[in-house]
Structure 1
């Protein structure tokens, strides 16, 4: 006999919206921002191996766990216009983006200490960092507003979620600050597991994109100097390798 039990659906990217309303369609895309940010987190952690980004991601997941617990303890229903399952207090989308934008703002304005400018280095200015912070907070507010427009949450649920995300971001920032000041973060970076994955702590002082560009510029200058002196850099490298081998014999 065939199994007649109803099938379940994985609703990670399922969004209800009004197909006749372009604003509703736009809000449906905004509902996918948390999933997109998770992809950004994982990509940056893997490509940069920065402990600061890893700590921020751990805080983000801890914030989600708090939201999960609050929803199941408060058990407040979603608006009547929404037939989706699950509780609505507080809004997980609002809490997620509030934590992200607040954490990014705290890092840019209080933790990131760029190196002084030089002839080959232009650090991110304070005005630029304030602008990025304002942009992230504005985008977070837009995502939170979209949840009310789509009738997924009441205004109260969104406000509580947003405030909860901001509060958790501040608490997490203070916790990581204590870890840094007490030397615990430096100790963690020396552990075999983190050394195996080449974890580091450079983004606090360096703009990784700028640092890579400076290395590239230095390499071009060195190659240009070699060409102008009449020596091809590739040939010179082979000669140097040959000399090293001869010295080893």
Structure 2
């Protein structure tokens, strides 16, 4: 570990994450630690651009997982490493490190989307699915490493967090599939405000890859061109 002298550590921009600006790995770990925030921004953009309910469903799962994380922290009351023992307020829950919320977030992310890759996406080959799951696992492990390297958590705390998150992600995928199958999501989509915002669940009812969407576009374009030629 490179983080030794307190006077060398500075917060990264407007975040609370302390790192050593002279250490490239430390800087990389900062961005890995911020990956959950980047992913939340991605979810928001995904929803705004596509009006799909899927990112809302996923964020709901992350929120449930976060509540479970806070419950475990309050019950276990496991302190952070000595280097960041004073992290958070004296009576706040942030001073506890078991399980790591960052590792759990990424574990949930990996567990949920690994389930989608393996069970939902049929156009991928077995090798492509393995690569996709490996990338998700690698991201989770990298974020966990960053929390240990920056000394916000112990190795055991991130292992527990990642494992718990991965398990929750798989079970949430199963739960979200069930509520879709029984029509609860469709019931929500029929709410007037939801219909007014044109929110849909084509991810579930008529899933299409980019290649399929592009093929549809090309066919419609060709039909329009042929119709214009006939009219001329």
* d(CA) in 2 for partners of 1:208, 1:63: 29
- SS across alignment from 1:71: helix
* d(CA) in 2 for partners of 1:69, 1:12: 28
* d(CA) in 2 for partners of 1:35, 1:44: 14
- SS across alignment from 1:203: helix
Q: Over the residues paired in the alignment, what is the CA RMSD in angstroms? A: 2.4
* d(CA) in 2 for partners of 1:225, 1:125: 36
1:211 CA displacement: 4.2
Larger radius of gyration between Structure 1 and Structure 2:
1
Partner of 1:66: 68
* d(CA) in 2 for partners of 1:210, 1:12: 40
1:12 CA displacement: 7.7
Partner of 1:146: 146
Partner of 2:202: 202
Q: 2:113 matched to 1:104? A: yes
Q: 2:161 matched to 1:161? A: yes
| TM-score, normalisation: structure 1 | 0.76
For structure 2, the 5+ residue unaligned runs are 1-10, 89-94
Q: 2:100 matched to 1:91? A: yes
1:99 CA displacement: 0.3
* d(CA) in 2 for partners of 1:97, 1:187: 30
* d(CA) in 2 for partners of 1:181, 1:219: 31
Matched residue count: 213
- Distance of aligned partners of 1:206 and 1:127 in 2 relative to their CA distance in 1, 3 Å threshold: farther
| TM-score, normalisation: structure 2 | 0.81
Contact 1:13 1:32 in 2 (8 A): no
Contact 1:18 1:25 in 2 (8 A): yes
Larger mean Cα displacement after TM superposition, 125-134 or 75-84 = 125-134
* d(CA) in 2 for partners of 1:25, 1:31: 10
* d(CA) in 2 for partners of 1:130, 1:201: 26
Q: 2:177 matched to 1:174? A: no
1:212 CA displacement: 3.4
- SS across alignment from 2:96: coil
Q: 2:220 matched to 1:214? A: no
Contact 2:189 2:195 in 1 (8 A): yes
* d(CA) in 2 for partners of 1:65, 1:196: 31
User: Which of residues 13, 18, 21 is equivalent to 1:19?
Assistant: 21
* d(CA) in 2 for partners of 1:192, 1:211: 30
Deviations 1:68-96 (A, max 9, x none): 22223322211012253222111010000
Partner of 1:246: none
* d(CA) in 2 for partners of 1:105, 1:63: 17
User: Which of residues 47, 52, 55 is equivalent to 1:53?
Assistant: 55
* d(CA) in 1 for partners of 2:152, 2:158: 10
Partner of 1:128: 128
1:207-246 equivalent positions in 2, closer than 5 A:
207-226=208-227, 229=230, 231=232
Contact 1:31 1:143 in 2 (8 A): yes
For structure 1, the 5+ residue unaligned runs are 1-8, 115-122, 232-249
Partner of 1:39: 41
1:208 CA displacement: 5.0
